[in-house]
């Protein structure tokens, strides 16, 4: 008997894995042909997406469901768990269903958050494969990204050491790269704060060009964003060549194509473009593909995974990173725009715990015991936090997508607290369901599954927040005021200068807008909870991801390389040397 109250997530996963379906059986149940399955062992495989899409192009798409959440506590509110639980619940009521989630980054896996496989009886398995590298997609991104930096730094060295004649002799032309205006750093898939700012090229002229540099976490790489939004390998190849690595001294972009490394970078990514097939604890198929963070990137699993799943299943459930102000907004205005897919329903996950925090509850910190305010009945505290739920609900309604509020029921929640959330949601004119998937799996998610099916039968009135013809400054204002609830926007002098240059460039001005902002508040300040009023969104920088097709406004103090905490998760991870099984993942 699997009991989440007494067992750790990895113990549940390990026990469930004894009864896993072989991946060949999963493929057969999905109706895949043998050549469309690319196995990586007995329980994981990649899918030949192009073969599947070509074969099934005439088949109508299934129902498209997105999962998002309210502003979370630092512990998270079970969005991945709810995604897995909803997939299990839809399976329990007889629907052919597929889920899609992002591949976890090594940074959070070995730091605080854990592997994002879900939890309790609503998990994606096999857990070890899922959490520790899977089929190598993130490694491929790391290598492709760093190859562009190898190309840049070696070119800088050659341009410094050789005159124009010497460069011509070596088949090169001078790009006149400005070492003080490099657009990206190196990447590694860990939270490594010591690598944020470094000096490279120490030594002689043969040891490279000495310059300031740094690292970002791999999931923030533009190549990860490209994997999430590319429609096929041809599209990926074209996007790879548009990545801006640096600028010349005259301010001209220096791209991977200019450096001659875009073809090799795509070669490193050629296998990674195929989605990975895993399963829930209850045996429903799950596609795991791409893994960008939502606070510093697009925060979505891949468009390719969604397109494949919609052809193979009657219902497809995909997850967006963090809360609706970040993950859902990017799903709505970026992913749906790039894919051309129209969702039928969005599930907004909330917890009593998070609502109490937004009502002014005590500080919640990873690794620290929860204050009793979160585990004992306190309806007035919860009611004060409902404004955060209602703000995110209004955002989903603004898109025209049918919302379903999912109360992710913890066993410590009081009936009166659940009733208060249900009453407020219904008063706001939205469907609501209580789900106990963490404790009871698919059986506990029946109400949620049935409510989602009902919502999917309604006619969507989907519309974007802005058109691509809308000036960047107006897009930023719309997102800040309509989604975050700000009164307006302010810019640093540097950001204002970049804004003017982008709006004056016909090509750049039509790219998508991918905001960078903390996930811990509707505002730019992670300490402000609830539904902040009377504030201004500060834009301190604007980045260009030309390959991915984004302009990236940066709000507040957000770093592309997180830091490792004093009590990281890697301390709990080990291997049973007698069996080779990994223990301690969560």
Within 8 A by CB and 6+ apart from 161, the residues are: 205
Given 215, 331, 438, 550, the catalytic residue: 438
In residues, how long is the chain?
586
Active-site residue flag, 102: yes
Active-site residue flag, 438: yes
pLDDT in tens, 55-93: 999 999 999 999 999 999 888 888 999 999 999 999 999
Active-site residue flag, 10: no
| Averaged pLDDT, 27-55 | 97
| Averaged pLDDT, 275-300 | 94
The predicted pLDDT at position 167 comes to 87
Active-site residue flag, 79: yes
**Secondary structure of 266-280 in the HEC alphabet?**
HHHHCCCCCCEEEEE
pLDDT tier, 567 (very low <50, low <70, confident <90, very high otherwise): confident
The predicted pLDDT at position 560 comes to 84
How far, in Å, are 272, 277, 392 from residue 130 at the CA level? 15, 10, 30
| Averaged pLDDT, 127-155 | 96
Range ranked top by mean pLDDT from 39-53, 458-472, 571-585:
39-53
Residue 349 has pLDDT above 90, yes or no: yes
Work out the percent of the chain whose per-residue pLDDT is above 70: 100
Residue 115 has pLDDT above 80, yes or no: no
The predicted pLDDT at position 14 comes to 93
Residue 366 has pLDDT above 80, yes or no: no
Given 92, 95, 113, 311, the catalytic residue: 113
The predicted pLDDT at position 313 comes to 98
Mean per-residue pLDDT of the chain: 95
pLDDT tier, 250 (very low <50, low <70, confident <90, very high otherwise): very high
| Averaged pLDDT, 240-253 | 97
Q: Per the structure block, which two tokens stand in for 245?
A: 């690595």
Alpha helix ranges (H) inside 76-232? 79-92, 106-109, 127-131, 137-161, 164-169, 222-229
Contact 239, 549 (CB under 8 A): yes
Specify the 3-state DSSP secondary structure of 499.
helix
Given 13, 45, 100, 294, the catalytic residue: 294
DSSP E strands in 441-535: the ranges are: 488-491, 512-513
pLDDT in tens, 198-215: 999 999 888 888 999 999
pLDDT tier, 161 (very low <50, low <70, confident <90, very high otherwise): confident
CA-based nearest residue to 72, from 357, 434, 327: 357
d(CA 300, CA 291): 7
Residue 1 has pLDDT above 80, yes or no: no
| Residue in this structure with the two tokens 């219904």, named with its chain if needed | 426
Q: Per the structure block, which two tokens stand in for 488?
A: 């307006």
Specify the 3-state DSSP secondary structure of 107.
helix
The predicted pLDDT at position 389 comes to 98
pLDDT in tens, 317-334: 999 988 999 999 999 999
Question: Cβ atoms within 10 A of the Cβ of 392, count?
Answer: 26
- Beta-ladder partners of 227: none
Residue 242 has pLDDT above 80, yes or no: yes
Contact 518, 295 (CB under 8 A): yes
Q: Per the structure block, which two tokens stand in for 13?
A: 């996963």
pLDDT tier, 359 (very low <50, low <70, confident <90, very high otherwise): very high
The predicted pLDDT at position 575 comes to 92
| Averaged pLDDT, 514-522 | 94
pTM here? Answer: 0.95
pLDDT in tens, 383-416: 999 999 999 999 999 999 999 999 999 999 999 9
Residue 40 C-alpha from the chain's centroid:
24
Question: Cβ atoms within 10 A of the Cβ of 564, count?
Answer: 17
pLDDT in tens, 571-583: 889 998 999 899 8
Given 46, 63, 79, 95, the catalytic residue: 79
Contact 308, 28 (CB under 8 A): no
The predicted pLDDT at position 438 comes to 95
Contact 425, 440 (CB under 8 A): no
| Averaged pLDDT, 298-317 | 97
Active-site residue flag, 550: no
Residue 24 has pLDDT above 90, yes or no: yes
Quote the DSSP letter at residue 6: T
Active-site residue flag, 294: yes
Given 130, 186, 328, 410, the catalytic residue: 410
pLDDT tier, 461 (very low <50, low <70, confident <90, very high otherwise): very high
The predicted pLDDT at position 285 comes to 98
Residue 459 has pLDDT above 90, yes or no: no
Domains and CATH numbers, the chain: 9-136+272-456 (3.40.50.300), 137-268 (3.30.1510.10), 472-555 (3.10.410.10)
Q: Per the structure block, which two tokens stand in for 582?
A: 């990994």
Q: Per the structure block, which two tokens stand in for 430?
A: 């939205």
Residue 493 has pLDDT above 80, yes or no: yes
pLDDT tier, 112 (very low <50, low <70, confident <90, very high otherwise): confident
| Averaged pLDDT, 149-177 | 91
The predicted pLDDT at position 568 comes to 85
The predicted pLDDT at position 53 comes to 98
| Residue in this structure with the two tokens 């500060």, named with its chain if needed | 538
Could you tell me what percentage of the chain is helix, strand and coil, using 3-state DSSP and rounding each to the nearest 5? 40, 20, 40
The predicted pLDDT at position 275 comes to 98
Antiparallel, parallel or unpaired: β 118-119 and 122-125? antiparallel
């Amino acid at each position: 008997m699997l009991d989440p109250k007494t067992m750790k997530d990895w113990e549940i996963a390990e026990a469930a894995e004894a009864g896993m379906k072989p991946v060949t059986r999963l493929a057969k149940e999905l109706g895949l042909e043998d050549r469309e399955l690319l196995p990586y062992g007995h329980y994981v495989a990649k899918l030949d997406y192009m073969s599947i899409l070509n074969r099934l192009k005439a088949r109508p798409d299934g129902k498209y469901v997105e999962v998002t959440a309210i502003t979370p506590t630092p512990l998270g509110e079970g969005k991945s768990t709810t995604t897995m639980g909803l997939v299990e619940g839809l399976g329990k009521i007889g629907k052919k269903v597929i889920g899609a989630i992002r591949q976890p980054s090594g940074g959070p896996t070995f730091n605080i958050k854990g592997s994002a496989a879900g939890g309790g009886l609503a998990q994606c398995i096999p857990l070890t494969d899922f959490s520790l590298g899977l089929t190598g997609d993130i490694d491929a991104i790391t290598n492709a990204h760093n190859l562009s930096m190898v190309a840049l730094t070696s070119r800088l060295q050659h341009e410094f050491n050789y005159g124009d004649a010497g460069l011509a002799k070596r088949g090169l032309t001078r790009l006149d790269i400005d070492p003080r205006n490099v657009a990206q750093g190196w990447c590694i898939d860990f939270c490594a704060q010591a690598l944020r700012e470094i000096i490279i090229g120490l030594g002689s002229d043969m040891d490279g060009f000495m310059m300031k540099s740094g690292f970002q976490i791999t999931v923030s790489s533009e190549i990860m964003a490209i994997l999430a939004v590319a429609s096929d390998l041809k599209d990926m190849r074209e996007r790879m060549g548009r990545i801006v690595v640096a600028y010349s001294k005259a301010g001209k972009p220096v791209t991977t194509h200019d450096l001659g490394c875009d073809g090799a970078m795509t070669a490193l990514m050629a296998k990674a473009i195929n989605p990975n097939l895993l399963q829930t604890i209850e045996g429903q198929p799950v596609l795991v593909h791409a893994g960008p963070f939502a606070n510093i990137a697009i925060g979505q699993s891949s468009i390719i995974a969604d397109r494949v799943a919609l052809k193979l299943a009657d219902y497809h459930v995909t997850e967006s990173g963090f809360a609706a102000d970040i993950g859902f907004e990017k799903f709505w205005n970026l992913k749906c725009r790039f894919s051309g897919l129209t969702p039928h329903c969005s599930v907004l996950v909330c917890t009593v715990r998070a609502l109490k925090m937004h009502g002014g509850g005590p500080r919640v910190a990873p690794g620290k015991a929860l204050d009793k305010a979160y585990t004992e009945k306190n309806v007035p505290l919860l009611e004060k936090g409902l404004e955060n739920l209602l703000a995110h609900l209004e955002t989903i309604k603004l898109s025209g997508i049918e919302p379903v509020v999912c109360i992710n029921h913890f066993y410590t929640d009081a009936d009166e607290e659940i009733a208060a959330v249900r009453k407020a949601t219904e008063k706001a004119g939205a469907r609501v369901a209580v789900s106990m998937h963490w404790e009871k799996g698919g059986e506990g998610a029946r109400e949620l599954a049935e409510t989602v099916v009902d919502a999917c039968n309604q006619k969507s009135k989907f519309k974007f927040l802005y058109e691509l013809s809308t000036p960047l400054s107006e897009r930023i204002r719309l997102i800040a005021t309509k989604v975050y609830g700000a009164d307006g926007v302010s810019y640093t002098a540097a950001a204002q200068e970049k804004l003017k240059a982008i709006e004056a460039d016909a090509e750049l001005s039509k790219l998508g807008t991918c905001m960078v902002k903390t996930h811990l508040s509707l505002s730019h300040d992670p300490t402000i909870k609830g539904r902040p009023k009377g504030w201004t969104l500060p834009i301190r920088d604007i980045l260009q991801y030309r390959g991915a097709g984004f302009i990236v406004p940066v709000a507040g103090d957000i770093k592309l390389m997180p830091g490792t905490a004093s009590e990281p998760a890697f301390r709990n991870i080990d291997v049973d040397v007698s069996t080779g099984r990994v223990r301690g993942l969560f």
